[in-house]
Amino acid sequence: MNDPESPIFDIKSYLARLPHLPGVYRHIDADGEVLYVGKARDLKKRVSSYFQKTISSPRIGHMVARVVKIEVTVTRSEAEALILENNLIKSLRPRYNILFRDDKSYPYLMLSAHAAPRIAYYRGSTQKKGQFFGPYPSAWAVRETIQILQKVFRLRTCEDTVYANRSRPCLLFQIGRCSAPCVKEIALEDYAEDAQRAARFLNGETQEIMGDIESRMLAASEALEFEQAAALRDQMGALAKVLHQQTMEDADSRDTDIIAVASSGGKVCVNLAMVRGGRHLGDRAFFPTHTDGDSPAEVLEVFIAQHYLDNPLPASIIGSHPLPDDELISLLSESRGAKANYVSRPQGMRRAWLEQAVRNAEMALANALSESGARSARTLALAEVLDLDCDPLALEALQIECFDISHTAGEATQASCVVYSHHAMQPSLYRRYNIAGITPGDDYAAMRQVLTRRFGKVADGQATLPGLVLIDGGKGQVEIARQVFSELGLDIAVLVGVAKGENRKVGLETLIFADERKPLVLGQESAALMLIAQIRDEAHRFAITGMRAKRAKTRNVSRLEDIDGVGAKRRQRLLARFGGFSGVANAGIEDLASVEGISPELAERIYFALR
């Protein structure tokens, strides 16, 4: 539903025209920024409720006071509105929505589709061939499970290239962690059956697997196949030990997620624990932002809505609070095509799971509050030393950028910019700059180029000036920075150089200012200097990793150029076909010869040149 063409947006008349249909709404301020995104079963009722006399919370009141325009999108169903709402929240990240930081995808355990299946740690799409089990809350949980499968079912973990070229069993066979199908120590049919049993184990059929192994052991004993009977006895013993160690096991093997919310000191923690196949796999803590005035139940509801639109929906969800929206689980089930039930007052083992999840949420929150207090104390110490605004809100918003230059004898010069704000490093805001058109090894020219590129945008009004700009270097580097800022008309008082101390020892650095302040030596006991050193070291690390990657890419392409018969077009075709230099280097002669313009003779020449 589009906004009126009129430059004056009349909210009251707009609300009157809203339909009684499901959809998504967006509250927008005078600058065109989306403040809040929400979904509604009935757009007219839901959006109108924001403009009643009674406001649900101070945060919502502040938001409503800034709203000058509303946009809505009508959807065919509330389930469709739920999906659109969360997609918009992730892309727009409105300041008044509860936000959860986007993490990497959850890991899975993969059982490959080979004749001799391999078990492996896996991240990515689960639409490929093979069986995928999970998701798991952490990499540790996956690797622990792999170790269990190695002990009990003796499945291989080796890469396919290693498996295909074995001539004798590896060490894992010697220590009883693999049955060595690579050299026919076990028949492929028997190995495949072990892999199937492992899959059943991961699906929670533990007692059935135990009974199956026991019956096979007795049959082997009666047939006087004592060696086979002993092997099955050892397998059953290993499985029994695993089951005994799993103190949180449950007879119900349905996939279950346990979600607990704890709040304290203005901060909220959501703890997610996972149970798969009756086994408790551990948990993961999340710390959402923009939660002022929201109850734990509201935070829990937002987490469930955002989390399960991107991750598999388990058969059962146990929560620490009743959900404000009774229809949420039904909407998720409809959108994901999988049924799930929600319980906030579980019994038996599930109650123990929830109690543990609550305790873990409280402990994670206490640790986060402690760390947050320590981090904010360091920021305050830095602000006091440099005479910055020490108001808590100003410290929270203080942004520090640090610049460093890295190269090897002038080769592959790169500049790095790292960002510190909200009392922590912000990797998503880091930037690298390729430096070109300068004399190799001229760090001053490199610094001038990167600062001009970065802060030219500030001078043009396209970006804001950070509260502090750190330069990794001494008087010369700071003078270059002063010149750039003066030319751009920016405040040079924010510039601070970090000159290395004797033997580059941390704690002996000298702070050099671009204005008339005298150099400052804070000493090894200074919390402010330790924070500056941390930011400086992070800039150095980020610059070096980028420079090395650029240098390696340049040298690898050069290796291709040095091969007689490989010109620009053939090089481009090779890199495109194999996805980069490493793919070309790992390709076989026949694979190389399949590329247009590469003859068998040239393929052989490329193959041996890259070895």
pLDDT digits (tens, 9 = 90+) for 152-195: 788 898 888 888 888 888 888 888 889 899 988 888 988 988 88
Span 38-97, pLDDT tens digits:
998 899 999 888 887 666 667 778 888 888 888 889 988 888 888 888 888 888 888 888
d(CA 170, CA 168): 7
pLDDT of residue 4: 42
Fold category of 256-366 in CATH? Nucleotidyltransferase; domain 5 (3.30.420)
> In sequence order, what are the beta bridge partners of 469?
401, 495
Closest CA to 111 of 207, 238, 182, 196: 196
Q: How far is CA 105 from the centre of its chain?
A: 6
Check whether domain 394-544 has CATH 3.40.50.11540, yes or no: no
Closest CA to 303 of 99, 109, 496, 113: 99
119-122 and 108-111 beta bridge pairing = antiparallel
pLDDT tier, 102 (very low <50, low <70, confident <90, very high otherwise): low
Q: 326-331, long-range: CB within 8 Å, 24+ apart, which pairs?
A: 327/41, 327/78, 328/82, 328/301, 328/304, 329/304, 331/78, 331/79, 331/82
- Whether residue 385 is predicted with pLDDT greater than 70 in this model: the reply is yes
d(CA 262, CA 367): 12
Neighbours of 49 (CB within 10 A): 12
d(CA 261, CA 267): 11
Q: If you average pLDDT over residues 106-110, what whole number do you get? A: 85
Span 421-458, pLDDT tens digits:
888 888 888 888 888 888 877 889 989 999 999 999 89
Neighbours of 547 (CB within 10 A): 23
**What does the domain layout of the chain look like in residue ranges?**
11-92, 111-245, 256-366, 394-544, 562-609
Question: Of 67-76, 91-100, 315-324, 472-481, which gets the smallest average pLDDT?
Answer: 91-100
pLDDT tier, 482 (very low <50, low <70, confident <90, very high otherwise): very high
- Whether residue 568 is predicted with pLDDT greater than 80 in this model: the reply is no
CB 102 within 8 A of CB 351: no
Name the 3-class secondary structure at 52: coil
Closest CA to 114 of 45, 152, 55, 161: 161
**Side-chain-side CA neighbours of residue 163 (13 Å):** 18
- Whether residue 279 is predicted with pLDDT greater than 50 in this model: the reply is yes
Under CATH, which number does the domain 11-92 receive?
3.40.1440.10
13 is written with which tokens?
């008349």
Question: Of 298-302, 347-351, 546-550, which gets the smallest average pLDDT?
Answer: 546-550
Answer whether the bond into residue 519 is a cis peptide, omega within 30°: no
Give percent of the chain with pLDDT exceeding 70: 85
Looking at the whole model, is its pTM more than 0.85?
A: no
Q: 378-385, long-range: CB within 8 Å, 24+ apart, which pairs?
A: 378/423, 378/527, 378/528, 378/530, 378/531, 379/423, 379/531, 381/526, 381/527, 381/528, 381/531, 382/527, 382/528, 382/531, 382/532, 384/528, 385/520, 385/522, 385/526, 385/528
Phi/psi for 180 (5° steps) reads: 55, 60
Fold category of 562-609 in CATH? DNA polymerase; domain 1 (1.10.150)
pLDDT tier, 471 (very low <50, low <70, confident <90, very high otherwise): very high
Q: Where are the alpha helices (DSSP H) in 70-167?
A: 78-92, 139-153, 160-164
- Helix H or strand E encompassing 284: strand 279-286
34-40, strands of its sheet edge to edge? 34-40, 23-28, 69-74
Do the domains at 394-544 and 562-609 have one common CATH topology? no
The DSSP line for 522-568 is: --TT-HHHHHHHHHHHHHHHHHHHHHHHHHHHHHHHHHHHTSTT--H
CB 201 within 8 A of CB 111: no
Q: If you average pLDDT over residues 392-413, what whole number do you get? A: 79
d(CA 344, CA 355): 11
Amino acid in the structure at residue 291: T
